[in-house]
Amino acid sequence: SFQTTIMAVEFDGGVVMGADSRTTTGAYIANRVTDKLTQIHDQIFCCRSGSAADTQAIADAVTYQLGFHSIELDEAPLVQTAANLFKEMCYKYREELMAGIIVAGWDKRRGGQVYTVPMGGMMVRQPFSIGGSGSSYIYGFVDSSYKSGMSKEECLQFTANALSLAMERDGSSGGVVRLAAISESGVERRVILGNQLPKFASC
Amino acid sequence: MASLSVCQPQCGGFSFENSKRNALLEAEFTKLGHSLPAARKTGTTICGVVFKDGVVLGADTRATEGMIVADKNCSKIHYISPNIYCCGAGTAADTEMTTQIISSNLELHALSTGRPSRVATANRMLKQMLFRYQGYIGAALVLGGVDSAGPHLYSIYPHGSTDKLPYVTMGSGSLAAMAVFEDRYKQDMEEGEAKQLVRDAIAAGIFNDLGSGSNIDLCVITKNNIDYIRPHDEANKKGVRSGSYKYKRGTTGVLTKNIIPLDLELVEEVVQTMDTS
């Protein structure tokens, strides 16, 4: 399973998503280069936290449902639709599942959007969202640092900083920082390796 | 709780109806001083590595029942399809049956599509089955193979999560084997190098983990060739006894001898050799 740090931020024209890369079974790191940013559709991604098995199974199911829906519609699906599909599954099976998911992407109708579907199955749109066990350590940082109207590069820097701080303090988060920037033109993925992470005064 | 009627077809999945009865029986057994037999697990060190032309899978050969070695030379690398093999750790019966079921389904699938199977398909089938059983099937697998899209290696956990990586280890000896991989793994190794690396990783598991032992089995899968090497290395050779502890004939004095011939008809003779090594 993974305790994690995941994050997504809206900007004008798209979204930036980020996650750490650690999957643990107890105290052993089963995978130190996990990709927790899963593609659901061409321009819709999700960040996964909680049980690896549960979130992989949910993401596979939603990918299938959304792909089918998109073919029926004959156009790109809305981010809100993807978020709703996640919410339906996470709420209906809330007792059996352990999954905290952030859905983010770009669509023609509303541009860049971030929806959070935490454990329990609520679904709400937010300008930015953090999740996972490591998020507890960075609520203060993100609340004070976030400004609306940031550019894509500023959002990427904001996300990388927040994730580095969380990974520094949370034992169950670590490895590399995986980033994805989704906009009208497509998806741009980046990896920040351990030694290239932003450094702060205390380290 | 819905009651089961004879006319209703039973839904799939495990039935836990006897759990209460089993718990009572176990309590009674322990009171008498006995313990129920433990399920045979494979302790195990299994691992896999992707090299330049394909994948190398490795496994030890010890199967344990509690603290006893049940099988000194069991085979943990299972056939899935001509180009895909799977190592299994965890409950021996679960890994054996799960791999056989998926192997059978995959063959039907390949006949239906008219194409050789892909490793990703086997991965999907395995993870969806294990997730359906919510971890009650104790099978931790290392799946590797070469298909039209190149060499692939997956690790699959009992709850149904999978990871696609260039090198993986599973089982009780996985930490020892991973230490070897983290030190010496390089991208695009040659076949000889990869085989040596896997051999050393399994050996690390065998010598440092009580649940793993005996020999090292390897399976090298490349685009046009499978090398199932069993055993590749006998890491633990039984020593030769330096003294004989047998008593000579005549050590015990014979007082009387009485021979009674039994009038029997030999119907069938079956000889099964025991491993007395």
Neighbour tally for A199: CB within 10 Å: 10
- Global pTM reads 0.83
Q: Any chain A CB within 8 A of the CB of B163? A: yes
Q: In the structure encoding, which two tokens stand for residue A62, read together? A: 């939603």
Spell out which residues of chain A touch residue B162, defining contact as CB-CB under 8 Å: 56
- pLDDT tens, residue by residue, A120-133: 999 999 999 999 99
Q: CA-based angle B120:A37:B185, to the nearest 5? A: 60
Count Cα atoms within 13 angstroms, Cβ side, for A199.
6
Spell out which residues of chain A touch residue B136, defining contact as CB-CB under 8 Å: none
- pLDDT tens, residue by residue, B155-203: 999 999 999 999 999 999 999 999 999 999 999 999 999 999 999 999 9
CA distance A53 to chain B (A): 4
Instruction: Give which of A191, A24, A182 is closest to A107, Cα–Cα.
Output: A182
Residues 199-238 of B with CB under 8 A from A: none
Candidates A38, A56, A98: best to mutate against B (most CBs of B within 10 A) is A56
With cut-offs at 50, 70 and 90, classify the pLDDT of residue B86: very high
Q: Which of A75-79, B95-99, B127-131, B271-275 has the lowest mean pLDDT?
A: B271-275
**Number of CB pairs < 8 Å for A and B?**
37
Burial class (CB in 10 A: 0-12, 13-18, 19+), B136: middle
**Residue located via tokens 């580095």:** A164
Whole-number pLDDT of residue B169: 95
* Helices of type H across chain B: 19-31, 92-113, 119-132, 174-184, 191-208
* Cβ-contact B49, B165 below 8 angstroms: no
Instruction: Name residues of chain A where pLDDT drops below 50.
Output: 1
Whole-number pLDDT of residue B145: 96
Candidates A23, A31, A33, A63: best to mutate against B (most CBs of B within 10 A) is A31
Task: Assign B251 to helix, strand or coil.
Answer: coil
Q: Any chain B CB within 8 A of the CB of A57? A: yes
Whole-number pLDDT of residue B17: 79
Task: Assign B105 to helix, strand or coil.
Answer: helix
Whole-number pLDDT of residue A123: 97
DSSP conformation letters of chain A? -B---EEEEEETTEEEEEE---EEETTEEEETT---EEEEETTEEEEEEE-HHHHHHHHHHHHHHHHHHHHHHTSPPPHHHHHHHHHHHHHHTTTT--EEEEEEEEETTTEEEEEEE-TT---EE-SEEEESGGGGGGHHHHHHH--TT--HHHHHHHHHHHHHHHHHH-TT--S-EEEEEEETTEEEEEEE-GGGS---TT-
- pLDDT tens, residue by residue, B192-239: 999 999 999 999 999 998 888 888 999 999 999 999 988 887 766 777
Which amino acid does the sequence have at B91?
T
Burial class (CB in 10 A: 0-12, 13-18, 19+), B114: exposed
Q: How far is CA A139 from CA A116, A158, A162, A170, B34, in A?
A: 15, 13, 9, 13, 55
Q: Any chain B CB within 8 A of the CB of A34? A: yes
Q: What does the DSSP 8-state code read for residue B117? A: P
Torsion angle, CA of A26/A28/A29/A30, rounded to 10 degrees? Answer: -90
Q: CA-based angle B78:B84:B90, to the nearest 5? A: 35
Mean pLDDT of all residues belonging to chain B: 88
Whole-number pLDDT of residue B30: 83
Active site residues of A: 4
Q: Any chain B CB within 8 A of the CB of A56? A: yes
Of A51, A56, A96, the CB nearest to B162: A56
Residues 109-128 of B with CB under 8 A from A: 124, 127-128
**Gap between the Cα atoms of A78 and A70, Å rounded:** 9
**Gap between the Cα atoms of B260 and B174, Å rounded:** 59
Pairing of strands B68-71, A6-11: unpaired
With cut-offs at 50, 70 and 90, classify the pLDDT of residue B7: low
The yes-or-no verdict on residue B39 having pLDDT over 80 is no
Phi then psi for residue A63, to 5 deg, are -60, -45
The yes-or-no verdict on residue B38 having pLDDT over 70 is no
**Gap between the Cα atoms of A62 and A40, Å rounded:** 7
Whole-number pLDDT of residue B43: 76
Measured between CA atoms, the residue of chain A closest to residue B157 is A53
Residue A56 and residue B165: Cβ atoms within 8 Å?
Answer: no
Whole-number pLDDT of residue B73: 84
CA distance B46 to chain A (A): 14
Q: Any chain A CB within 8 A of the CB of B129? A: no
Q: How far is CA B249 from CA B90, B241, B254, in A?
A: 48, 21, 11
Directed axis angle between helix B119-132 and helix A52-73, to 10°?
A: 110
